Structure 1
Amino acid sequence: MSHHHPATVSVFASPASWIESDALTQCHQVAALDGMRHVAAMPDLHPGKGAPIGAAMTSSVLYPFLVGSDIGCGIAVFPFRLKRVVPEKLAARFPDLDRPLDPVRDADDPAWDVLDGEIPAGHHEGLGTVGRGNHFVELARIGTVFEPDHADRLGLAAGDLVLIVHSGSRGLGERILRAHTEVHGAGPAPDPDAYLAVHDEAVRWGSLNRRLLAARVAHALGARPAEPVVDQCHNLVEVRDGLYLHRKGAAPGDGRDVLIAGTRGTHSYLVAAHSGPDAGHSVAHGAGRKMSRADALRRGRAKHTVEELRRTPLGSLVVCGDRQLLFEEAPTAYKRIEQVISDLVEHDLATPIATTVPLVTYKTADLGSAPERRRKRGRS
């Protein structure tokens, strides 16, 4: 039996949080879908392709497009120990995380030690790579600690180093969504269990990928790879109380510790999440874009030089050889993370544990700025 009255929509943001009307329109379009029960919008809500980003959507019907192509995308936090921290030197030592780890060619790479068992779905392409968009690997320092006991349980204290990894399932999730949309478009999964089986592999793949990325950086920087203290995926479907809870850019918020990413030029926040059914058992996953990539590119070029964007207002460094990406991902393209966090606190969805302060943020390989190398690549 299908419900034709639209689902309820709750927005967990204060009037001070600017939310695009397009994103709210998308929430109401999703709410009108067959079988939809509830849409919970987070304070970092912004428009996505067909469905909003920053929402938890509960339905009796499974819709793959509500999760999107980056199934398994999430953020993990790894403890990191280094004797000396000189951001300039560390930035230069970051490995090329656009170059995949090949199980044959790189068989003796020590990063593989984190692999336990088989590679999910036997999908070898793109392993150990970050990907584009808002994905990143960041060396950061624990800043302010709000909840010392909780931080202590995670083995963290002010001044400690952590590696934050934001990445997903690369080509695997894309392949899974494409296989569905080529036949069913934005329609529901005809066989939810079959979709969930491949979906779960992509979620496991994303988690393995974050571990591999962390291990690659640890080995390159002279640290020992560690298990993550936090690893939450924010693009996935969960079966809950007989319904499908789709999260797109929303992290599980039912008693989990979550790293909510600011931007490369601001703090991020480690929070203890405690949200209930009205919030789709979810919390925000980051600051959320306030400017489209095209706008950020246009405005950024008018306002900043590339050099300005390579060093953030916090004095941290950005490793990014792609000029366009530097502008698209500029801190000014995002909402204020403090506002997102205060909205979560105000709605009693999360309690801040600590802030993290960026030292080096890796977006994509910076293949040197030697003039001859630039000329060879056809870039001026």
Structure 2
Amino acid sequence: MDNSIQVLSDKASLIASKNTWIEGLAIQQLLTTADLPNMVKVMGMPDLHPGKGYPIGAAYLSREIIYPALIGSDIGCGMGFWQTDINLAKLSIDKLAKKIGNIDLPDTHHKYNLGTIGGGNHFAEIQKVSKIFDATLFNHYQLNAEKLFLLVHSGSRGLGHAILQNQLSRFGYQGLADNSDDALRYLEKHDNAVAFAQLNRQVVADRLMTNLNTQGQEVLNVCHNFLQKVTIDKQSYWLHRKGASSAMDELVIVPGSRGDYSYLVKPIQREDLLMSLAHGAGRKWRRADCKGKLENRYSMQELKRTKLGSRVICEDSSLIFEEAPQAYKSIDSVIESMQQANIVTVIAQLTPILNYKTQGGH
């Protein structure tokens, strides 16, 4: 077996190279999920990190029982990626920062805020291609390194949260028999939230590209928090992904922190690794610890510039510390682990230019 694949128990494994740091609590949580009733196999990705009871950055395979709590509250969260018509040669970050404007919505009590990014680790980012690893694939997908790209990471906003809260209030964290009325009702709501999240990323991209006076071509729009029915060795299973992209998608983008690279990859399907891959760099620090670790070393203004020369638009004084690059693992170690496990072909590396979180106010 590849040395980047660590067997933790008879049901739990982890994809991580020797350079990948994984917190002990995340591994404990992964092992806990392996003991859930009817759980067949769990697979931690190299961006594995602790969550609320269950870890983020993993795939879970069960038989005849579904676990809504494993998907979490942001059902359908994922990445959308567009090639814009903006020429790299004419790049002015100052002009981009002014033109990008504000897509935050006022609090009109609209339930789900379609077309907004949301808080936490969600963002939109203007990027440029900095390195092409596989020119054949890059050209096959008709990508243009002379143009800028737009990456949108967002989910189902309040809709997914409402679905999970309703679920927890009725059933707690227990699973549901997949042929039960309760499971079928959840699955219908889940599918609606996935569709909403994909639409939300499209609307966010459209709003930003309108502000930037550009057109865009969608390269991908994929999820990393969702439930899927799969067949393996003629057996039917439920595959839960929480912070794990699907190897069944044709293309996936794996972003680092706002001060790190992103990588466009072509997944390689491996049933033994649950046809999944990492969705990003993974947190290194808990949100509650970030401000204390950083506020004596960096001002808010200093955190609006990154080591790669990119800018950050974030007027939320808590969020800018919580999402600082220092709070995340190195994306390169995550990509290295996946290459060693033979689950991705890396197509291109992208460098951030402008990262949009929130303008604050409305």
**Paired letter, 1:80:** T
Task: Give structure 1 stretches of 5+ with no counterpart.
Answer: 1-5, 103-122, 369-380
In the alignment, is the contact (CA less than 8 A) between 1:255 and 1:273 conserved in 2? yes
Equivalent in the alignment of 2:170: 183
Counterpart CA distance in 1 for 2:142 and 2:201 is 20
Equivalent in the alignment of 1:228: 218
- Which residue, out of 261, 283, 290, partners 1:289? 283
Equivalent in the alignment of 2:146: 159
In the alignment, is the contact (CA less than 8 A) between 1:271 and 1:353 conserved in 2? yes
1:25 is aligned to 2:28:
yes
Counterpart CA distance in 2 for 1:159 and 1:203 is 33
Secondary structure in 1 matching 2:66: coil
- Which residue, out of 106, 127, 144, partners 1:140? 127
**Paired letter, 1:216:** R
Secondary structure in 1 matching 2:199: helix
Shift of 1:286: 0.2
Runs of 4+ in 1 over 3 A off after TM superposition: none
Between 313-322 and 295-304, the greater mean CA deviation after superposition: 295-304
1:96 is aligned to 2:99:
no
Counterpart CA distance in 2 for 1:279 and 1:133 is 28
**Paired letter, 1:235:** N
Task: Note the alpha carbon deviations across 1:50-76, whole angstroms, 9 max, x for none.
Answer: 111000000011000000000000001
**Paired letter, 2:85:** R
Equivalent in the alignment of 1:374: none
Equivalent in the alignment of 2:209: 218
1:68-87 matches, within 5 Å, as 68-83=72-87, 84-87=90-93
Counterpart CA distance in 1 for 2:29 and 2:298 is 32
Equivalent in the alignment of 1:46: 49
Equivalent in the alignment of 1:301: 295
In the alignment, is the contact (CA less than 8 A) between 2:111 and 2:158 conserved in 1? no
1:238 is aligned to 2:228:
yes
Secondary structure in 1 matching 2:222: strand
Shift of 1:367: 5.2
Equivalent in the alignment of 2:5: none
Counterpart CA distance in 2 for 1:204 and 1:101 is 23
Shift of 1:212: 0.3
Counterpart CA distance in 1 for 2:106 and 2:68 is 27
Shift of 1:101: 11
1:66 is aligned to 2:60:
no
In the alignment, is the contact (CA less than 8 A) between 1:64 and 1:188 conserved in 2? yes
**Paired letter, 1:331:** P
Equivalent in the alignment of 1:347: 341
In the alignment, is the contact (CA less than 8 A) between 1:95 and 1:216 conserved in 2? no
Counterpart CA distance in 1 for 2:237 and 2:209 is 40
Counterpart CA distance in 2 for 1:16 and 1:360 is 29
Counterpart CA distance in 1 for 2:350 and 2:103 is 22
Shift of 1:227: 4.1
Task: Note the alpha carbon deviations across 1:104-134, whole angstroms, 9 max, x for none.
Answer: xxxxxxxxxxxxxxxxxxx963000100111
Shift of 1:360: 0.5
In the alignment, is the contact (CA less than 8 A) between 1:297 and 1:327 conserved in 2? yes
**Paired letter, 1:198:** K
Task: Note the alpha carbon deviations across 1:7-32, whole angstroms, 9 max, x for none.
Answer: 61110001221101100000111000
Residues 366 and 183 of structure 1: is their aligned pair in 2 closer, same or farther, counting only changes over 3 Å? Answer: closer
Equivalent in the alignment of 2:268: 274
Between 21-30 and 91-100, the greater mean CA deviation after superposition: 91-100
Counterpart CA distance in 1 for 2:298 and 2:250 is 38
Counterpart CA distance in 2 for 1:9 and 1:125 is 36
Shift of 1:142: 1.3
Task: Note the alpha carbon deviations across 1:177-217, whole angstroms, 9 max, x for none.
Answer: 11111010001135322211110110010000000000001
**Paired letter, 1:169:** S
Instruction: With the length of structure 1 as denominator, give the TM-score of the two structures.
Output: 0.87
Shift of 1:96: 2.1
**Paired letter, 1:211:** Q
Counterpart CA distance in 2 for 1:313 and 1:341 is 20
1:197 is aligned to 2:188:
yes
Secondary structure in 2 matching 1:162: strand
Between 92-101 and 244-253, the greater mean CA deviation after superposition: 92-101
Count, aligned residues = 342
Between 312-321 and 6-15, the greater mean CA deviation after superposition: 6-15
Between 214-223 and 80-89, the greater mean CA deviation after superposition: 80-89
Counterpart CA distance in 2 for 1:100 and 1:322 is 15
Shift of 1:152: 1.4
Compute the RMSD of aligned alpha carbons.
1.8
Shift of 1:157: 3.2
Equivalent in the alignment of 1:107: none
Counterpart CA distance in 2 for 1:159 and 1:358 is 15
